[in-house]
Chains A and B, each alone.
Chain A
Amino acid sequence: MDSVAYSPAVSYWHSRDPRLKLLVVIVGATLALTENTLGGQLVLFLFHLLLYFTGGLPLGRGWQIFKSFRWLLLITFLLNLWTGSLGAATRYLLRLLNLLLMSSWLLGVTESLTLIKGLELSLRPLRRILPVGEIAMVLGLTLSFFPLLLTEAREIMLAQQARGVNFKTNWVKKMRGLLAMVIPLFISALRRALEIAQAMEVRGYVPGAPRGSLYELAWGKQDSIAFGLILCFVLLWWGAKAFLR
């Protein structure tokens, strides 16, 4: 989980508008998915590394990505080696790494709720056909539900251990312990969901009604400059592709 958690720091990318960062990811991911040469993937990898380090993200985080996805990376590599060449296998490996690096970077330099706000504002033109505000609200609630469930799970575990449920010995007992854990957790999650729904209702939340916002996202000069740089990168990329072809 460390490789996708928000990493609080002061960096160039931390202070950029989430909409810009979303655009960077869309551009980066599109290029990574469509690029079919090893050289191109390598250039993208370097570009993503540049983003990664200008975002002030720690090295250990990069290693975490590698570690958590090692089986996926290894299998992809071996499969492509088997069906294709070493070049193709490396290309696929780099492509995967590019995508992973990109998403880890985005989640590292953007707080989840800011990101959701950015997503909501980016999708606003579609609000006639999509319930954009509600989607953002559900995403935000889902995110804030995780820590709640974790705390609850810990409490239930303690309560069940106090009553003699064993989570540590052999696997039969472990399974039984798990059952004693999952059922109350499920019930409490449902109850909590109802409580939150009630709490939202008493404070006047009406799905679909216009809502204000505590934070306004402000697109600054720095964001425009960064936007220009990204545009230049894409143009250069296309130029170089056309030239090399």
Chain B
Amino acid sequence: MEIKLEEISVVYPRKEAPLKALNKVGFTIKTGEAVALLGPIGSGKSTLLQVMAGLRPPTSGRISVHGQEGPIVLSIQEPQRGFFAATVREEVAFGPENLDLDPAEIEARVAWALTAVDLDRDKWETSPLQLSGGEQRRVALASALAMKPGFLLLDEPTIGLDGPGEEALRQTLKRIRTETAIGLVVASHDPDFLFMLTERVLVLVGGELQADTSWGTWAQKAAAVSPDLELPFLLGLLRRLAEAGAPVNAAPETPADAWDELFRLRREGEKGGKG
């Protein structure tokens, strides 16, 4: 499955001056990819996700979807504010119900999704409003997963989560990626979360696509594109070391490569100390 965007522009009509939220954005993503969507506040990330999910028609440009492994599902910012069902199970069932499935299939999907996000079974019949913040986010993720999306678009999924909550979310998403054919697009202000989850980086600044690249390349050009965008901690550290003259590759593509680089530097440092 593949989503292709060509010259997508979105203009919000405003009294004073029309606001250009997206300006000729174009890229293609495929199932199996995990894409980070970076950009300062107001750069058009949410608008782009809404366009991709088919919820907002672009002012101009073309979006085409090939293949039909599953729907494109957007999990909005603070999704728990949209809860309305009486029980967790009913909340999660809402999406599959909209797909007009059989009761047995809906039931099975609800159970699968709630198990996938690791929500205690004794909470399935309680009101989603009575759960803790972290549990509510799990329910929200489950309600998106229960639709068996071909693409899952997440808008700021880590806001309001603590460390363990963030870790659990990352593990769940990683597991879902290995278990099902799914494409992920994650917009977030948390570069570390994104670095550990994704391989490809899309960067929006002022509604324009400034970069469509890998983490390694992004580490090298981030400072030139926008000084507001923070690098993941590991990449920033390697960059600083390289700038200080340390013999490191400052552009690893994955967290594992970055760690390897740091360990290599330490080994060489020890050797150098002895020699």
Q: Is the interface of A mostly helix, strand, loop or mixed?
A: helix
- Provide the bound-state CA to CA distance between A35 and B100, in Å: 45
A215 interfacial contact with B, CB 8 Å: yes
B98 & A198 in contact (Cβ 8 Å cutoff): no
B103 & A199 in contact (Cβ 8 Å cutoff): no
B144 & A203 in contact (Cβ 8 Å cutoff): yes
- Provide the bound-state CA to CA distance between A115 and B200, in Å: 49
- Provide the bound-state CA to CA distance between A192 and B81, in Å: 7
- Provide the bound-state CA to CA distance between A33 and B127, in Å: 38
A211 & B84 in contact (Cβ 8 Å cutoff): no
- Provide the bound-state CA to CA distance between A203 and B141, in Å: 11
B89 interfacial contact with A, CB 8 Å: yes
Query: A55-63, A89-97, A144-152, A222-230: which one contacts chain B?
Result: A144-152
- Provide the bound-state CA to CA distance between A198 and B155, in Å: 13
B83 interfacial contact with A, CB 8 Å: yes
**What's the nearest-Cβ distance from chain B to residue A23, in Å?**
23
- Provide the bound-state CA to CA distance between A215 and B178, in Å: 31
A205 interfacial contact with B, CB 8 Å: yes
Interface residues of A in 33-89 (CB under 8 A from B): none
B interface residues, how many (CB within 8 angstroms): 36
Interfacial chain B residues near A201, Cβ < 8 Å: 55
Interfacial chain A residues near B98, Cβ < 8 Å: 203-206, 209, 211-212
Interfacial chain A residues near B103, Cβ < 8 Å: 212-216
A198 & B82 in contact (Cβ 8 Å cutoff): yes
Interfacial chain B residues near A213, Cβ < 8 Å: 97, 103, 106
- As a 0/1 sequence over residues 95 to 111 of chain A, the CB contacts with chain B under 8 angstroms (1 = contact) are 00000000000000001
**What's the nearest-Cβ distance from chain A to residue B245, in Å?**
50
B100 & A211 in contact (Cβ 8 Å cutoff): yes
Q: Which of B53, B81, B100, B129 contacts A195 (CB 8 A)?
A: B81
- As a 0/1 sequence over residues 62 to 97 of chain B, the CB contacts with chain A under 8 angstroms (1 = contact) are 000000000101111001011111100110011111
B74 & A202 in contact (Cβ 8 Å cutoff): yes
B100 & A202 in contact (Cβ 8 Å cutoff): no
Interfacial chain A residues near B143, Cβ < 8 Å: 203
Interfacial chain B residues near A179, Cβ < 8 Å: none
Interfacial chain A residues near B122, Cβ < 8 Å: none
B90 & A214 in contact (Cβ 8 Å cutoff): yes
- Provide the bound-state CA to CA distance between A212 and B96, in Å: 8
B110 interfacial contact with A, CB 8 Å: yes
B89 & A204 in contact (Cβ 8 Å cutoff): no
A141 & B84 in contact (Cβ 8 Å cutoff): yes
Once A151-B129, A203-B144, A203-B147 are accepted as A-B contacts, the answer to whether A144 and B85 lie under 8 Å apart by CB is: yes
B99 interfacial contact with A, CB 8 Å: yes
- Provide the bound-state CA to CA distance between A71 and B71, in Å: 56
Once A113-B86, A200-B94 are accepted as A-B contacts, the answer to whether A212 and B101 lie under 8 Å apart by CB is: yes
**What's the nearest-Cβ distance from chain B to residue A147, in Å?**
7
A202 & B86 in contact (Cβ 8 Å cutoff): no
- Provide the bound-state CA to CA distance between A111 and B100, in Å: 24
B107 interfacial contact with A, CB 8 Å: yes
- As a 0/1 sequence over residues 134 to 165 of chain A, the CB contacts with chain B under 8 angstroms (1 = contact) are 00000001001101100100000000000000
B76 & A199 in contact (Cβ 8 Å cutoff): yes
- Provide the bound-state CA to CA distance between A42 and B104, in Å: 47
Interfacial chain A residues near B120, Cβ < 8 Å: none
Interfacial chain A residues near B90, Cβ < 8 Å: 113, 214
B179 interfacial contact with A, CB 8 Å: no
A196 interfacial contact with B, CB 8 Å: yes
Once A144-B86, A151-B129, A216-B103 are accepted as A-B contacts, the answer to whether A204 and B76 lie under 8 Å apart by CB is: no
Additional 7 contacts, C-beta under 8 A, given A202-B53, A204-B73: A113-B86, A147-B127, A199-B76, A200-B84, A202-B74, A213-B97, A214-B90
A sample of 18 cross-chain residue pairs with beta-carbon separation below 8 angstroms, ordered by A number, consists of: A144-B86, A147-B129, A195-B81, A196-B82, A196-B83, A198-B82, A199-B76, A199-B79, A199-B82, A199-B84, A200-B84, A200-B94, A203-B94, A203-B95, A205-B94, A212-B103, A214-B90, A214-B93
